[in-house]
Chains A and B, each alone.
Chain A
Amino acid sequence: MSKVVRVNPIACEAHGLCAELLPERITLDEWGHPIVDPTPVTGQVEKHARRAAAACPTLALLLAEAGRRSPVMD
C-alpha cells in the first residue's frame, strides 16, 4: 500500500520543518506554508516523510494511503 504525504492545512502553522526534512516532496509557498508533491513516497523518501511527520510541531503532516479519495463530496 503506497503512501502519500498530506498536510492538514487547519493544523499547519507554517513552522517549515517539513520542507527541511522532506525536500523530496515539500516546498514552501511565499507565506511559508507547505506545497506538497502528491507522488507516492517509498523507500528512503518514505523514511524521510515519517521523520518529517513526527517532527511537525502541530502534527499537521500526515502519511495517507495513496488513492484514497472520498466517493462523496459536498
Chain B
Amino acid sequence: MADKETVVGPETRISGEVRGEEDLIVRGRIDGRVQLTQTLTVEKGATVQADVDVRHLVVSGTVVGTIVASESVKLTSTARVVGDLASPRVMMEAGAAYRGRVDMGDIAAARAAVSSRAVQRPAASEKLAIHPAPPRMATAAKAVVSGKAAAPVAPAVPAARSTIPAAAVGALGPASPPAFPRVAGAMGAMSPAWAKKKIRRR
C-alpha cells in the first residue's frame, strides 16, 4: 500500500498522536502516543516518550512509556527502555537496559488500560513513581535475558531519566511548595544579628 515507508528523521520531533497501518521508523523523537497495526522501530539515537500500542516493537534507542505489542518486543543491545511492557514474545539482548514490568500474558487487558488513558500526559513520571521496584524478569523460554543486562540497568537509567526532566519536576512539584515558606521562616528566625546589620549598612 505504502510506496514509501514512514520515517521520522533524526532532526524531526512529533508531539501528539501518531496512528497508522504501516511500519514506522523513528530516528528522531516522538512524544505522546503511537498506535500502529504494524512494526515500530526505534533506532539508535531516537527517543520515543509515548504510550506505544503496536504489533511488533524493535528498540535500539530510548523508549519511555507503557508498551503494548500484540506480537513481539525486541530490545537490542543499545536499547534503553523505561515503562511497563506487555507482549506475548519479549526478547532482550545483552546490554539492553530496561526498567518496568513485563507481562507476557493478557495483552487485551493491558491494551485496554493504555487506550483508556488521555494522550497528553506524562506517563513516564507516573510510572517511575508508582513502580520503583526492579523489573520482574520474564521467565518464559522465549525471553533471552542475559545476566549482563541486569547489571547495567542502574547506570543506564539516568540516561533515560534525563530525557524526562520536565515530567519528573512536575511530579515533584506539588511536594515542594509547602517546604519553601517553612525554610524561609526558619532562615529568617535564625538569621543572626550580624547578617541583619550587614544589610542595614548597605
Chains A and B are bound partners: no
